[in-house]
Amino acid sequence: MTAFVAFREQLKLIYSRYDFYITAAMKFFLAFISLIVVNSKLGYMERLKSMPIVLLLSLMCAFMPANAIILVTAIFVILHVYSLSLECAIVVAAMFVIMFLLYFRFSPREAISVILTPICFALKIPFVMPIALGLTGTPSSGVAVGCGAIVYYVLRYLSDGVTTLNSIEAENAIQKYRYAVDGIINNKTMMVVAVVFAFTVCLVYTVRRLSIDYAWDIAIVSGALGCIIFLFIGNIIVHIEISALGAILEAIVSIVICKGLEMLVFHVDYSRSERMQFEDDEYYYYVKAVPKITVPKRNNTVKKIAHKTVNHSNTKNVRVPASAHSAEK
Amino acid sequence: MISQDKIRLMAQMTYYDEHVGKKNRNMASYFRGDYIGLQVLKSIISATIVFLIVVALFIYYDFEVFMKDIYQIDLMATGKNLLTIYLVFVAVYSAITYIVFAIKYRKSQRNLREYYRGLRRLGDY
């Protein structure tokens, strides 16, 4: 544990020293992974699949605000879907515009969830997002995760329906359009998952803010359990496509990942927590103080070895060795 | 003599200034009513665009039926229905905008007060 804490402190130190480069590198990787996932899942436009284009766009995103990644990825998705069918591209573009106009005006920071949630779905760890956002965000983050889930299911629907879309004649544009709209409106799984994720964010947020020991651990586990239970309830009510074993495995993996996140963000020692009670003229205070787990800093002895210059009014400057004045801390 | 407290304070203030300070000062350049009013106005425009997109998508979905029945539709009743839905949608969305940006404005004022208090402390060093 001490080694991990020391490693975390090292990470902090490195990040604070090279934050510009690390942030740029993280944006680059996020953009790169997003574009690769889009290419692998949709990939109808051959030109966009070329690696130089992906690398160039990722590099561009590295030096732009984080929301540029969303814009580039959204355009990428629309272009791929456009290659498949113009009508579907209109539907997807309308979906993105509605999301950005209605929700991301309020909290542009959370817009990145629209990208991260489908990536987590693709990596088979979808529960990570609602739990992680419940731990680090606010209840409103639930809307962002819900939007991410909707994006994932719409893209999956279009990706699964390529054969059907191609079998519809090119002249029958409205038929293709209806196929896309029906897929979105009648996709019960999408609706249930979006609502379940939003609920999970609220649940995790509420539990982790409770004044109880191990609140974050309980929040993670309750988030994972909440996801499974809500999904099973959804399955009973509207018969969605959810694999029970898959959901349980995904929940276990999500718990492990979120535990790692907790150790990075909120690592405290509950065994040394203290409760205090005091008062002033207006209030009673019930305070609970939980110490953070840290490693003691090494005491470095600093020895000054620089030379000190002494001015003599009637002589030349005389250099006095600093060892004569050295001070140890 | 370097004062560690002063450096810590300066670092905190620089962090605030670089991250949310600019945004908060921008908010504070408006009166509360003006700022929230502007955001509500933006929301009305956004909601109108979204409503038009959704209506267009629905019309296109049943375009053939729509074109066939266009002369038989009671335009007044349909228009009234659409207008009601539009007004309810805009009203709900504007109310949410009002609440969200009122909270944001209050937070930014609190942060700015802290920032100026920090500046005064810095001046005392």
Structure tokens at A91: 């539907």
What is the ipTM score, two decimals?
Answer: 0.75
Cα(B7)–Cα(A168) distance, integer angstroms = 68
| Yes or no, beta carbons of B50 and A97 under 8 Å apart | yes
Residue found by looking up tokens 């929700």 in the block:
A103
Mean pLDDT over A241-263 rounds to 86
* Residue A177 at interface with chain B, using a CB cutoff of 8 Å: yes
User: CA-nearest residue of chain A to B64?
Assistant: A174
Q: How far is CA A141 from CA A114, A200, A211, B105, in A?
A: 11, 10, 22, 19
Q: Which of B43, B49, B60 sits opposite A177 (nearest CB)?
A: B60
Cα(A317)–Cα(A322) distance, integer angstroms = 15
Main-chain phi, psi angles of A26, to 5 degrees: -65, -40
Cα(A217)–Cα(A8) distance, integer angstroms = 19
| Yes or no, beta carbons of B54 and A98 under 8 Å apart | yes
> Predicted confidence band at A318 (pLDDT cuts at 50, 70, 90)?
very low
Query: Which residues in chain B have their CB less than 8 angstroms from residue A101's CB?
Result: 46-47, 49-50
A300 pLDDT more than 90: no
Instruction: Render pLDDT for A70-113 as a digit per residue (tens, 0 to 9).
Output: 889 999 999 998 888 888 899 899 999 998 888 877 777 777 88
Mean pLDDT over A310-322 rounds to 50
Instruction: Render pLDDT for A200-239 as a digit per residue (tens, 0 to 9).
Output: 999 999 998 888 888 888 999 999 999 999 888 888 888 7
Cα(B4)–Cα(A326) distance, integer angstroms = 21
Q: How far is CA A281 from CA A278, A284, A285, in A?
A: 11, 9, 11
- Please list, residue by residue across B95-113, b when 16 or more beta carbons sit within 10 angstroms of its beta carbon and e when fewer do: eebeebbeebbeebeebbe
- Chain B nearest-CA distance from A149, in A, is 20
Q: What is the pTM of this model?
A: 0.77
> Predicted confidence band at A324 (pLDDT cuts at 50, 70, 90)?
very low
DSSP string, B34-81: HHHHHHHHHHHHHHHHHHHHHHHHHHHHTHHHHHHHTTTS-HHHHHHH
Residues 37-76 of B with CB under 8 A from A: 42-43, 46-47, 49-50, 53-54, 57, 60-61, 63-64
A313 pLDDT more than 70: no
CB-CB contact of A283 with A291 (8 Å)? no
Of chain B, the percentage scoring pLDDT greater than 90 comes to 37
